Structure 1
Amino acid sequence: MILTAVFGFLLVTVANALPQYRDRILNGHAVPNPCCPGSMWGRVGHMSSSSTQLNGFGRDFASSGHMFTEQLCLADSDGDGVRNGQELGLVTNRYTLQTLCSFLSQYNMNPRVLSFLRLRGILRNPSSHPGICDQRGQFSTCQPPPNCGC
């Protein structure tokens, strides 16, 4: 009986979230919650803070081997007209998004590289969520899910 309870607890804990994945995503610990302004989204790849259902970014992240690849950076996972790298904070004043995404994919979210990009003004805080459409995109016709968690 106790073994079943412990196993059940562990299974729920593992299924609930994999926080180490946030370390593999550009600004993964600072993604804003489009449904609750001023708060952060703890489960970037999920439809809500309590859902196990993946959003577009979560599906793309899983397809990329749970790594922030150049393709994932350049994708528009939520269909709002803004690419993931831009939503997650890349600034394209000096370099193209393709150049920045290619550079980042070589360093696997190395904290020193990210600090360097911040100091150079190439990386800022995320402007929106890459997997939950929030109407910020120029060509957006999408809506955030009705109960995405606050």
Structure 2
Amino acid sequence: MNVLAIISFVCCSAVLGHPYYRDLIPNGYGVPNPCDGGATVWEAVGHYNPLHHTVDKNPFAQAFAAAGHVWTVALCQADSDGDGVTNGAELGDPTCVWTAGGSPTGRATGHPGICNPVGSCPGQAFTCNCHGHNCVGK
């Protein structure tokens, strides 16, 4: 019985832990899905699967982790996905002034970890509707 309780706690902690990161970036709950023209939201911002936290983390997730999971000016000014638009511009903080808990100056217009349009960046072989572990070429 105790083992089941521990497993349940660990699983729930893992599921609840990732969405917390969305609070730490501007417009974390409003990142447009680049696979449908932004009609829906990409919930798992740091992953290649829009709905699930997979092992395949996109370049923004890697940069966010390297920044200590903090929205910094350097992370804001970077272009993690290599599409020519800064993370801040894509997430609605083009002047890099947003702080956790505040309101962004604009709305998210792109995804900071997936090239817009999809497939346009050299070296990022992500394709829409392929969200498994072996779908992303590096």
The alpha carbon displacement at 1:129 in A equals 0.7
Calculate the aligned-residue CA RMSD, in Å.
Answer: 2.4
Q: Does 1:72 align with 2:75?
A: yes
Provide TM-score, normalisation by structure 1: 0.70
Query: Where does residue 145 of structure 1 map in the other structure?
Result: 127
Contact 1:77 1:84 in 2 (8 A): yes
Q: Share of identical aligned residues, percent? A: 37
Structure 2 counterpart of 1:20, one-letter code? Y
Aligned counterpart for 1:135 among listed residues 110, 117, 125: 117
Q: Which has the higher contact order (CA 8 A, sep 6+)?
A: 1
Instruction: Point out where structure 1 has 5 or more consecutive residues left out of the alignment.
Output: 91-96, 118-122
Q: Which amino acid aligns with 1:71?
A: A
Cα 1:76–1:35 change in 2 (3 A) is same
1:75–1:83 contact (8 Å) kept in structure 2: yes
Q: Is the 8 A contact 2:34 2:117 kept in 1?
A: no
Structure 1 residues 71-109: Cα deviation after superposition (integer angstroms, max 9, x where no partner): 11011111111110111123xxxxxx5xx21x33xxx22
Q: Distance in 2 between matches of 1:28 and 1:144?
A: 21
How many residue pairs were aligned?
Answer: 125
Match of 1:110 among 69, 77, 101: 101
Q: 2-side partners of 1:65 and 1:76: how far apart?
A: 17
CA contact (8 A) 2:81 2:112 kept: yes
- Which structure features the higher share of helix residues? 1
Paired residue for 1:28? 28
